[in-house]
Chain A
């Protein structure tokens, strides 16, 4: 089942497209990372998946076949918006009761146990908590709903390194315990590297890359060779990024088969996930925009071999 599926999804705000022609399939049980610079359309995509905004163009479904914002989708999709909005004047205990009353299912025991573990006092106003505690409160309330899909918009940006690790640990524990799927946006690559199963790269409202992280790594390689040969090499392989040094050039290339022969005179190296994502993030203005690299999930890639 595809926990998230979009077809030609687009959103236009006042005449300019925040997101355009986004076709995406994320299967259930994964942690999908949504990566892109500010203004790339990450929040727009998440708002549409959470049911806050409706598409201008195309369509989106969650949990297999539910329309975002429909009762069934609202029931099983939890969304923690950017800056983890909480009601500043309400006590933490009130936020727990509020969320409990606004949902069909709420695991109050889990919520209270986690807040105690995090040493977040129930009798404190939510607005007086630190940024990290507010993020943890919002995450705890979302997880206590026992959602099937958890959408987190830039949850790590306000957190210090220790709080980031705690936050991600909570998310990964919930994934392991309850089998929930997670879509998480971030512009911080190092953390995502370790946790993401699937990555989606957006730049300037366009989908640049989407695929399982292992699959993407095995289908990209770094070629090193003479700078004078770049053009002839580029005719044989799909080049994502070119970096020229004095006499040498480094090409990040996409290969349809990991066992493809290396062009003569070139040397191949495996690529790290951070190098890969940075290459796609940087490669914004190129012709590649029109045809996003979209490697299929593992099963179809294996079928092609």
Chain B
């Protein structure tokens, strides 16, 4: 039997039953499958971050120009500096607010619109009966998809939050915001990537658990807001570490642990919950 081989793909092994012990299918196959099936999410989420980055860059250059004298003014409490602060336009604030809100909402949006449909749509429409009976097996199938998308989204979030560190600085200086205040802490540094991971894996988990897209989306929003609120209100005041970066690392640490737990629970459900 002759088989067409594609460039970059290895020759196909012998038909089933004639080969030796089965080796697991390579992960890069799942990368292609994920790209093929989740193109909207793989393009949409980075495009959302890219659009934010373009706004930040174009507006940021203007704002930094306007705020240049203010940023150079020391100490901020001096009356000359306060006059300077009052004189710069409040219109820039709308842009700053909008970007900040978009970044704060990003993890919940990614969870609901990219995380939930990942598995829930397959279960809702019945296509899992195709996917779960292919040679790759449902465990590799689920892990491959979740991990690839999670890495892409987290890298995007990390990049955009680095840019935000520069973009949002004038606002933080003008308002004399602490770097540990929610608006700054959530959107600078590395915790945004952590929250995006948690939001996405939460969406995937609830999609697998609830098995229907719309109810799982609502549950993801509600659960994400709950976790976020608890973190603001109760968790962060009890961080034992002091300073911006130690607190960031601590928060990313537990968010990563939570995400890993959610992925494990999702895969366990896919593996053990009968159709």
Contact = CB atoms under 8 A, between A and B. Distances in A.
Contact of A103 (B3, B14, B126, B135): B135
Nearest to A99: B134
A106 B29 CA distance: 13
Contacts of A50: 129, 133
A288 interface: no
Interface string B5-25: 010000011111101001011
B274 A104 contact: no
B33 interface: yes
Interface string B102-133: 00000000000000000000000111111111
A79 interface: yes
> Which bucket holds chain B's interface residue count?
35 or more
B36 interface: yes
Interface of B is mostly: loop
Nearest to B12: A105
B175 interface: no
B272 to A, nearest CB: 8
Nearest to A63: B17
A214 to B, nearest CB: 28
Interface stretch (A31-39, A144-152, A261-269, A273-281): A144-152
A94 B32 CA distance: 11
Contacts of A301: none
Nearest to A48: B274
B72 interface: no
Nearest to A47: B275
A234 interface: no
Interface string A192-219: 0000000000000000000000000000
B246 to A, nearest CB: 44
Given A47-B275, A72-B22, A148-B17, A103 B134 contact: yes
A104 B9 CA distance: 12
Given A81-B129, A102-B131, A105-B15, 10 more contacts: A52-B274, A71-B135, A76-B17, A98-B37, A101-B36, A103-B134, A105-B12, A109-B2, A145-B16, A146-B1
